[in-house]
Structure 1
Amino acid sequence: MSKVLIVAEHLNGQLNSATARCVTCAKAIHADSIDIVVLSDAPDAIAAQAAQIAGVSKVITVANAANAHALAQVLAPQIAKLAAGYTHVFGPSTTFGKDLMPCVAALLGVAQVSDVMAVDGPHTFKRPIYAGNAIITVTAPAEHAVVATVRTASWPATGAGGSASIEAASVDATLPTHTRFVTLQQGKSDRPDLQSASKVVSGGRALGSADAFSIIYSLADKMGAAVGASRAAVDAGYVPNELQVGQTGKIIAPELYMAIGISGAIQHLTGIKDAGTIVAINKDGDAPIFEIADFGLVGDLFQIIPELEKAL
């Protein structure tokens, strides 16, 4: 019998859609029950959102002032205590999950399964390696709990319609004092979140400068899209690193991805391999991006983008 515990990711009282994607993955192992745990200083509103995800059996809340900010070293001991009785503990393969879940695995004395992109059985999973150039099958020991991060770009979010019960839990765990929250630094934008947006417009090194990158922002605003960038554009200082898409940035799966002035290095392609439709605009007709693009346009982006925006 499989019982899955999913760690909810949330920020500012809002549940991240990555949690619903973890639920989809949990359903693939045909679990007998899927529970979500919300750790926060005030978890009620977040728990109410989680309870609406279809297929969720129960939402567990852990209210503690120490959980006001998501610190892996603080959350992990509590999750490890709650994991008793569960066969699987899942978290999203986001910055939050990549920071937290290895700590949970260490406390439970098991090896973590990372970036689950497909499920072959309750203990057998597929995950990418070598920047997504190869897919391997991993089998976890059946006698131990499976701690895994779910590659959110590979799983659609489970829809609403659920009515799971919500239960408050008290966890007797020793929390560390050597780690403390200082401040959260994050970019602020009225545009959609890059990780969950259905449309993304990305720019590359060909833009030439931070000022020229405004052409990407303008097109994205016209389309109601999020803005992304290649690592080369980030390294050149055109945009902040939270916009980076690729192996060392964000792995995304929008319905529409527009790569503008991006040549298509394998590290970048890794981040968009699950996108629905890929559109490439580049003056180099031999750029690798055209090999995977559904639609490609060869030409000067500084001429094409204004024309495209005018047509829109």
Structure 2
Amino acid sequence: MASQSSSPSTSVQKFEDADFLVRSWSDGSTFAVNRGKLEKGSHVFRDMFSCCDSGAENQQVLDLHEPESTLSALLRLLHSPPDPPVQFQREPQAEKFSTLLPVRYDASTAIPLPVLRVLLYLADKYALSDRGALESLHAHLLAHAPTDGLTVYGLALMLGDMPYVAAEASQYVLPLAWYSPEEAKVVPTVAAYHNVLQLQAYRVKALQDILLREELFPHGYGMCATHNTSAAAVWARTRLILARKIETNTDVAGEMESLVYIFQSCTTCCKAFNAAVDMLAYKCRRVPRRLDQLPDDGCPGFDE
């Protein structure tokens, strides 16, 4: 992977506090770097330098089989790791009661995915040891999960040890049937693909079960003496239709809430309807959304 040389390229790109030279074997591009930062930030560089003669370090050149652009990205990562993306400040209670998936970072402040893919590949290849730099890269990757869930899930498994990022990203993966074969290739193993498939099947079954059990007038509570039969029939008919259409990302309570216009003319029915939708949303929120929340037995089971 590396060799020692004493004839560096005439064009040198310099980093702060440079005391050593690194050169691209493929095109001769040379970088003046800080050897201490390379040793501190990467297990691979640490092992390389441990095999080298410690004398006359400033006169040495380390040749790496990387093109200039890749080598530049690696050295910048080791000298000045990127700050994490801007994180949204959210009230824990608001997220707890929301039916929407959490958005933790401002995606506009995240490193673009094509660049991030390269950085994560290099972090894995050169065994970066700086936890702060690694956590920052992981946060940048997670910032893309709400819009590129499957890609983030696949990269988290493919490029380093990121179980937390993979688990978080799994909740943003759209129904797998919606992806093309080319898009699905980002998932590195059949087992990893199957895990998401199992999570989504679990969610669909659990959401269907909750929807089909939830009544407009549970135990007769809030039942309207005038419209109880017709109102309950509308609720029952709509939930049967919706149950057949549920996907892993369906907002079940939100879909049922679209019936509100039918119940608005009756205060009693409207009150019962809102209570039923709220209870439906509460129960659906408790359905696992991430792989790390999936029960070991894979069987739906919810306390009433």
Give the strand-richer structure, 1 or 2: 1
Which one has the largest radius of gyration? Answer: 2
Give the helix-richer structure, 1 or 2: 2
